[in-house]
Amino acid sequence: MNITFFKYQGTGNDFIMVNAIDEDIILEPLQIQRLCDRKFGIGADGIILIKPDVKADFYVDYYNPDGSQSFCGNGSRCAVSFAYAQNIFDGKTCSFNAIDGIHTGKVLDIDNIEISMCDVEGIEEVDDDFVLDTGSPHFVRRCNALEEIDIITEARKVRYNQRFSAQGINVNFISQNGSEIHMRTYERGVEDETLSCGTGVTAVALSSVSENGLFARKIVTNGGSLMVNFRKSGNSFRTIRLQGAAKFVFSGEVKSEK
């Protein structure tokens, strides 16, 4: 099967995009693993199939490199940019469905995309760490020397511990630099560090405030900066918006064998 694909990246998170609006494309886990492989395939942090949806303008069908599924913040921002370029929706605003429900998207410009995130009910504090779900489960830990940490070793102690090993969890390490929060993320499904993580940035932003009110947080990843706007009321978070760069890289055709 030959697949026409488009490569996008959102602050260093890179994705294989496929327009499946008019064509029923089904990828098996082994195909996904091969396509995401950086040595033997296209190479990506995930694959997104844009499909028709009865409740929204389109459906974002996201797969991790291991073939598992989840919601992806940066992937969804790239999906909005891709769908806009493919004329899948009219104007510069859209709705899309995903594994965690309905979202909205806005094209601020072709390379700058904002999406809504689902509401978050509660953050669990575990000693000095935080656990929360922003469409995907996240663990947030503060550290002093962010660039010096052995993130693979330290993150896997959390990701594969007795509590989280079955479902998996994304692990974020953060440090404060003036008014900015810097972070590094180990992603489940990728099982490695990625340059950025949209749901991780959101988790870090939400866990950074203790008082109620409206907030805007700039989070700096190794792949670039993202903005998170939200309202906190008690232990609930509403009107969460994730904004940042989402850029087309290249396109091509690949043969994907089962």
Find the domain containing 107 and state its range.
2-117+246-255
**Bridge pairing between strands 129-133 and 137-142:** antiparallel
Contact 184, 140 (CB under 8 A): no
pLDDT block averages, 10 residues each, the chain of length 258? 95 98 94 96 98 98 97 98 97 98 96 97 95 98 95 98 96 90 97 98 97 97 98 97 98 86
Total domain count, the chain = 2
Q: What tokens does 183 get?
A: 């972070």
Q: What is the pTM of this model?
A: 0.96
Query: What value, to the nearest 5°, has the Cα angle with vertex 244 and ends 220 and 110?
Result: 150
Same domain? For 124 and 109 the reply is: no
User: How far, in Å, CA of 178 to CA of 198, rounded?
Assistant: 22
Active-site positions?
72, 197
User: How far, in Å, CA of 254 to CA of 246, rounded?
Assistant: 23
Q: The domain spanning residue 93 has which CATH number?
A: 3.10.310.10
Indicate the DSSP class of residue 257: -
Owner of token pair 């493919």: 86
Same domain? For 21 and 104 the reply is: yes
Supply φ then ψ for residue 108, to 5 degrees: -70, -40
Same domain? For 124 and 112 the reply is: no
